[in-house]
A and B are shown apart, each in its own frame.
Chain A
Amino acid sequence: MTTKTQSLRTTETMQEDPYAARARFAGIVRKIMIYFFLLVGAAIILIPFFWMLSTSLKTESQLFTYPPEWIPEPLQLNNYVDAWAQLNRIAPGLTFTRIIGNTLFITVLAMFAEMFSAAIVAYGFARFRWKGRDLVFFIMLSTMMIPGTLTRVPAFLIWRELGLLNTYDPLTVPAWFAWGPAYIFLLRQFFLTIPRDMEDAATVDGANTIQIFFYVMLPLVKPAFLAIGVLSFQGNWNNFEGPLIYLNTTQMFPLVLAISFFQQSLSLEAPKWHYMMAMATMMAAPILLLFFMAQRYFIEGLTVGAVKG
């Protein structure tokens, strides 16, 4: 409605004032320029995506046709099955379901522990005054600077001493110790925004700290809790470094490591791009789906640290 009245008004003034017409023309040119740049950017982003999908539906010989085929004829949907079948041939037992099972096992366990422990720790930082709290909080934020490179070798040695190499333990169990400083920070920022009356009321009603945390506080920070949930899912699903260091047995490989294994063993001399793109698409699909469903939480998780802090 408002845009309509505005444009009507501009037409009126246009007849009276030649300057307004020029300004309007400049406005249109500006709009066109903006959309032009946006579309160029969109092409740069979408063409590689489309190429990935297109390649994943080609036969091996179609990979090298010139000029390239955008929509392969016929669509080789089989690639999505064959790629894993090929992998299974060199690593018996490593079926697609097994790989997905491995990936989900790592991701879900790590995600659950990470979310839960981050929430508890963030609550301790946000809502209780204790001596040294701010110093500890500062140290926690500083750990974000420490690169994984520094702790990789000693962490490996610790797990070796414990006899837990080639198990899923190093990838899941330490998540209980709130290993994501960024998640703690994000949740703390949210806890800080909740009025204290909420807890006071619950305390008057005779609730203890644990009850307040689960029944009052956690529901109130649900958006932030879900935001770190999706970020954590994404992080663990994509995690390559951890599994690469700790897992040896091929049958225990998660998706990303299976793809790497395929690249190293079957695709080194003559790259099987159609299979690799099919695998990459399958690895990306759940994350993209999650992103489209829970976009709000992704954006929330991404921006809160930067804009509010």
Chain B
Amino acid sequence: MTGDPGALSTYYPTLLRYVAVAAGIAVVMFVVYRLLRRFGIKHEPATGFTLVLPWILGFLIFTVFPIGLSFYLSFTEYDILWDRPRQLEDSLFNYKRALSVKIVELPEGERPIQVLGTMEGPTPETVRYRELDRFTLGDKTYLIGATDGYFLKGVWLTLRYAVISVPLGMLGALAVALLLNQNIRGVGFWRTLYYLPAVLPAAAVALLWFWLFAPNSGLINWFLSPLYEFLGVGRPGWFTDENLVLPSFIIMGMWGIFGANTVILLAGLKNIPKDLYEAASIDGAGNWKKFRHVTIPMLSPALFYNLVTNLIGALTVFTQQAFIPTDRQDGWFVNWFIYNEAFNFGRMGYASALGWMLAVVIILLTLLVFRSSAAWVFYEGARQEGGA
């Protein structure tokens, strides 16, 4: 750590550049507007385009260019200390390293083996297949080896987290929203209360739950201790127990996202016109039919919105994992894993490849949800933006 530079000397240069960039954008907008007008474009389109220009510039500088660069870097080796990336002889090496899996038979009577084989690498360090898991088939035991088992474990953890926590979070929030919609007194009060966890900073939530789940003096183990005694089991280690890492994260995640989902669904419920229910009653629909054929379709845009945001959120967990240092052996959430590859181990090229794989998975899943939305999301009236 370097010495203290003093507060003002760290604020002042940034402030200067902050103002300069704002002025620069204003000048660019002005010039572009003038140019457009000179080329005979009318006032309205010229103004509209000019106003959107800041976003277009930002998109090119901070999204398009980095995405392209990251694509290029994913085929290179690039230590954080180097000036330039180094071309890989096998350009797909980073991707192979992340995904290579090998299954070998456990030789009988041998000592447990550590290295199941090697993969040709571009660097002096050979890339080894290490044991990831083992399984028995018939009377033989097989070992599954991977060149980056930690990454695969992270992927496995993240996917399971998303698959379990997203539906749970949506169903739970739907139940609470329906409760709050039952003409109860002080809806505003309850809504505020249920939204509170979503307001708490993710860092604070993570620390709080890390403490609640503490194995020896945590509140949850104290609260459940009669149950443990009854079952005759010891206190579980939660975040320190390889089998309970995932449930612990799911419980914590539920607590955090519940409120936001509920508030969105409640707003959706309040938006459903009462006469739809009356019409359904006249047609002889019971409570279940009303729920199935009025509430769910009318609520589907809100459910859809929750599904998309929760899915992306679940696949990019970062802060929670940063404040809850679980064992890397048990899997780290991929977003945090990739951050560590890049900035702790300095493997920028490798991290770019991993980042690309995560992005592709997220985009594919989101598109899948969007495609399916045509079948189950109901938009009242004609909408210009459709699925967007």
Contacts and interface: CB of A to CB of B under 8 A. Distances in A.
Interface of A: 31, 34-35, 37-38, 41-42, 44-49, 51-52, 55, 63-64, 66-68, 91-93, 98, 101-102, 105, 109, 113, 117, 120-121, 123-125, 127-131, 133, 136-141, 143-158, 167-169, 172-174, 176-179, 184, 209, 234, 237-238, 240-241, 244-245, 248-252, 256, 259-260, 263, 271, 273, 276-277, 280-281, 283-284, 287-288, 291-292, 295, 298-299, 302-303, 305-307, 309
A274 to B, nearest CB: 10
B376 interface: no
A270 to B, nearest CB: 12
The DSSP consensus for interface residues of chain B is helix
Given A48-B255, A150-B359, 17 more contacts: A41-B176, A45-B259, A92-B4, A98-B7, A124-B52, A130-B46, A137-B388, A146-B363, A147-B316, A154-B65, A154-B70, A169-B17, A174-B62, A271-B211, A287-B201, A288-B199, A307-B264
B237 interface: no
B201 A283 contact: yes
Contacts of A31: 184
A216 to B, nearest CB: 15
Interface residues of B, number: 108
Nearest to B85: A157
A240 B202 contact: yes
Contacts of B385: 309
30 contacts: A41-B176, A44-B255, A49-B196, A91-B1, A101-B7, A120-B54, A124-B49, A127-B48, A128-B51, A138-B388, A145-B312, A149-B316, A149-B334, A149-B358, A152-B355, A153-B351, A153-B355, A154-B65, A154-B352, A169-B18, A177-B55, A177-B57, A240-B203, A241-B319, A251-B4, A252-B5, A252-B10, A276-B211, A288-B196, A305-B305
Contact of A152 (B176, B197, B339): B339
A176 B217 contact: no
B358 A63 contact: no
B73 A153 contact: yes
Contacts of A146: 63, 67, 359, 363
A154 B73 contact: yes
Interface in B163-185: 176, 179-180, 182, 184
A241 B211 CA distance: 22
A168 B11 contact: yes
Contacts of A176: 18, 21-22, 25, 54, 58
B54 A177 contact: yes
Given A169-B17, A306-B267, A263 B48 contact: no
A266 to B, nearest CB: 14
Given A52-B208, A121-B54, A291-B199, A130 B45 contact: yes
Listed residue (B191, B211, B338) with the most chain A CB atoms within 10 angstroms of its CB: B211
Contacts, number: 320
Contact of B179 (A38, A45, A179, A309): A38
A177 B58 contact: yes
B117 interface: no
A248 B2 CA distance: 9
B59 A143 contact: yes
A174 B359 contact: no
Given A178-B55, A249-B2, A151 B67 contact: yes
Contacts of A150: 66-67, 70, 355-356, 358-359
Given A147-B335, A280-B203, A167 B44 contact: no
B362 interface: yes
Contacts of A148: 316
B211 A273 contact: yes
B276 interface: no
A63 B271 CA distance: 47
Contacts of A174: 58, 61-62
